[in-house]
Amino acid sequence: MELENIDDLIAKVLAGEASEKEISTLNAWRNVSDENRVYVTQSEEIFHQIHSVRLERKVDVNRAWKDLNEKISTPEIKKISWFNSKTIIRIAALFIILLGAALTLKLLNHDNAQSTMQVVASNTSVLDTLPDGSTVFLNKKSTITYSLNADNIREVHLSGEAFFNVVHNKEQAFEIVIDGVRVKDIGTAFNVKALPGSNEVEVVVEEGEVQFFTNDNQGLNLIKGQKAQYNLNTKLFSQSVINVNENALSYRTKEFHFSESTLKEVVQKLNDVYACDIRLYDDKIANCKVSVVFKNEDLEMILSVLSETLDLKIERKENHFLLKGESCSEI
């Protein structure tokens, strides 16, 4: 039975205008589920609140006698009332039931939207805002699912790599979950990498503090400038200080610090961050060293700088770049 028919049936039953069959129908619908029972109960409460309202008016005795005399001396004219008290109550009850149902559905949808969210980055990185106001920057081929669990914890399941800037809330902890490994926010901004097929989970803290632990191990507390890995096979944590030349967050910042890095390493990082295909013509230029900083430059500018620095030729093919050059002298 559709909702609008149920509301009309409830209103008829509460107004005392329903047949035995209609009353039986409502009772059967009520017993189908707990949600139906709650809905009918709430409707009854609203009806009784309306019915309990009594309009009071003062009685004008003189006017009453005058009206009586007029009725005695004037032939009675029968008037048909389109709206008796029961009908008015029924209409009012139906209106409030429908209004209540609409508000309830709106609130339920709002609550669901506020408690659960999925963000997917396919071939490009994605920046999004979570229901709690925190922001997440997903690397390509990454997915997160955000929810507020039964323990009032903001829980995020991650596959891939993501940078989180968390709105801290003492009442609702914020935790990243990967195969029993957890990263709990204590500060504000941190990166978590858990690539599919990898045996390692990595955390890099940019601001604030996080707790990096498992269900069986209290783990480590990491602060700004620190990073750590957890090996899923050995069940061991390892901690170190962030080296700017690692370019751990370059997928988000598009900032690169290369210091005596090989051309092969540079190309691998650029291919990863820009989702491009840069190839070396042969291995003789793979170990050429380069020291350079790029800050949010486009790919063609970066290639141009590398070309000038290492005296390379760049050929742009249909779907990739090809770098050619002479072998570099070992230093």
In order, the DSSP letters of 123-138 are SS-EEEE-TTS-EEEE
Distance CA 172, CA 152 (A): 6
Looking at per-residue pLDDT, the higher value among 258 and 111 belongs to 258
Instruction: Point out the least confidently predicted range of 80-94, 109-123, 169-183, 235-249.
Output: 80-94
Range 15-22 contact pairs with CB under 8 angstroms and sequence separation of 24 or more: 15/47, 15/86, 15/87, 15/89, 15/90, 15/93, 16/86, 17/86, 17/90
Q: Alpha carbon of 31 to those of 28, 34, 35, 39, 45: distances in Å? A: 5, 7, 9, 11, 18
Provide the pLDDT for residue 56: 43
Q: What confidence score (pLDDT) does residue 97 get?
A: 61
**Letter string b/e over residues 17-29, b meaning 16 or more CB atoms within 10 A of that residue's CB:** ebeeeeeebbeeb
CA neighbor of 158 nearest in space, from 136, 125, 173: 136
Per-residue pLDDT of 49-65, as tens digits, reads 665 544 444 455 456 55
Strand partners, 146: 117, 156
* Per-range mean pLDDT, top range of 14-28, 92-106, 216-230: 216-230
Per residue in 9-57, pLDDT (tens digit) is: 888 888 788 888 888 888 888 877 777 877 877 777 776 666 554 444 4
Is it the case that residue 220 has pLDDT exceeding 90? yes
Indicate the angle between helix axes 3-14 and 34-51, nearest 10 degrees.
40
Structural domains of the chain ordered from first start: 3-54+80-113 (no CATH), 122-242 (2.60.120.1440), 250-324 (3.55.50.30)
pLDDT band at 187, cuts 50/70/90? confident
For residue 166, give both structure tokens: 């968390």
pLDDT greater at residue 180 or residue 164 = 164
Per-residue pLDDT tens over the stretch 311-323: 999 999 888 999 9
What number is the average pLDDT over the span 265-269? 95
Model pLDDT, residue 49: 62
User: What is the overall mean pLDDT for the chain?
Assistant: 82
Pairing mode of beta strands 142-148, 135-138: unpaired
pTM for this prediction? 0.62
Going from the C-alpha of 175 to that of each of 10, 54, 60, 164, 323, the distances in angstroms are 46, 55, 72, 11, 43
